[in-house]
């Protein structure tokens, strides 16, 4: 009987070992697919918007969060394969928040072997002195940080400044401007800075936040929390972020359509007189296949629930 039990235990252990190996191989395959997807999406954005050119020196802004770590990680991979030559320099602004682990980024970047610069500026004290107690610090902090980083870019001879915003950030910004600023304005993948001296790029414009969250786990980035200053997260941005996540959960594919719409604008079907000459529209009497139709055919791709009309009323 003991021999039978020993054989059964051995079979069980072999099955468990085999299952672990298969699971490990599956995870490895999924991680490889994720890496390929991230490189593909970042590379596509760079090409679509001509973000990085021959001879560029790109300042990669690294905050210690998952997004900027991932941006640096992917750009380093692409740098090795790119058909052009460009430099990368990682830059972190140490704003002297209490408890900031100032050794983490230098240690990580040194091990990575990437050129880097740590800029030490006590903006925390300025913000705490100017902003009343209990109010969010983010707006002033962001403006100060932006000005310092632009200056550093010039001092380092950088031709591009890379920020780690991703697709979900860009969608959130679009809705924030619509809801709270009454503007159809987003977060562009490439722009000239407000000082006119820097070209700012967002190489992760096509990348989703969930992919970045997973990649941070895979790569085990030494994440530095963004709550060291004690400031609350922007509540409006949090509200919009929750809305988008709920939509994605209930209606898969909706965020992809919304993001695609940012690249498929029809000014003649909005209401901005500065973007389209509505006042001088006149009938020409000439048929035009590309002209507008009085009643557009439905082009919506979003699936609807059976028995529910467009406005959500059950049809008979």
- pLDDT for the residue numbered 124: 78
27 pLDDT above the threshold of 80: no
What is the rounded average pLDDT of the residues 106-126?
91
Q: Rounded to 5 degrees, what are φ and ψ at 167?
A: -55, -45
What is the rounded average pLDDT of the residues 158-183?
94
293 pLDDT above the threshold of 90: no
Q: In the chain, pLDDT over 70 holds for what percent of residues? A: 78
Under a CB-based contact definition with an 8 Å cutoff, are residues 39 and 77 in contact? yes
Q: Average per-residue pLDDT in the chain?
A: 84
Pairing mode, strands 116-120 and 199-201? unpaired
CB atoms within 10 A of CB 242: 10
Q: What is the DSSP string of 84-114?
A: S--EEEEEEEE---TT--TTHHHHHHHHHT-
Q: What is the DSSP string of 214-234?
A: HHHHHHT-----TTTT-PPP-
- pLDDT for the residue numbered 260: 93
96 by Cβ neighbours in 10 Å (0-12 / 13-18 / 19+) ranks as middle
- pLDDT for the residue numbered 23: 65
What is the rounded average pLDDT of the residues 58-67?
96
Confidence band (pLDDT; 50, 70, 90) for 297?
A: low
In the chain, the largest separation of any two C-alpha atoms, in whole Å, equals 97
């Amino acid at each position: 009987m003991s021999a039978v039990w020993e054989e059964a235990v051995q079979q069980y252990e072999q099955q468990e070992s085999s299952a672990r190996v298969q699971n490990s191989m599956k995870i490895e395959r999924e991680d490889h697919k994720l890496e390929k997807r991230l490189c593909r999406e970042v590379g596509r954005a760079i090409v679509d918007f001509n973000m990085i050119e021959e001879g560029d020196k790109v300042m990669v802004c690294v905050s210690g969060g998952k997004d900027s770590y991932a941006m640096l990680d992917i750009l380093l991979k692409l740098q090795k394969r790119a058909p052009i030559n460009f430099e990368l320099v990682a830059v972190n602004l140490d704003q002297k928040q209490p408890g900031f682990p100032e050794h983490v980024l230098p240690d990580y970047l040194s091990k990575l072997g990437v050129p880097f610069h740590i800029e030490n500026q006590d903006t925390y004290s300025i913000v705490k002195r100017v902003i009343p107690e209990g109010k969010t610090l983010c707006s002033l902090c962001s403006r100060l940080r932006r000005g310092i980083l632009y200056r550093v870019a010039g001092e380092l001879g950088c031709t591009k400044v890379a920020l780690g915003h991703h697709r979900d950030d860009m969608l959130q910004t679009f809705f924030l401007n619509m809801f709270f600023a009454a503007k159809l304005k987003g977060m562009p993948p490439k722009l000239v800075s407000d000082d006119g001296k820097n070209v700012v790029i967002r190489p992760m414009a096509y990348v989703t936040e969930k992919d970045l969250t997973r990649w941070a786990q895979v790569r085990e980035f030494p994440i530095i929390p963004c709550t060291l200053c004690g400031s609350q997260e922007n509540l409006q941005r949090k509200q919009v972020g929750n809305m988008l996540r709920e939509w994605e959960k209930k209606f898969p594919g909706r965020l992809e359509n919304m993001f695609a719409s940012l690249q498929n604008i029809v000014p003649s079907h909005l209401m901005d007189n500065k973007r389209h000459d509505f006042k001088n529209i006149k009938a020409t009497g000439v048929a035009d296949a590309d002209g507008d139709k009085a009643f557009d055919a439905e082009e919506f791709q979003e699936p609807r629930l059976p028995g529910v009309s467009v406005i959500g009323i059950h049809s008979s």
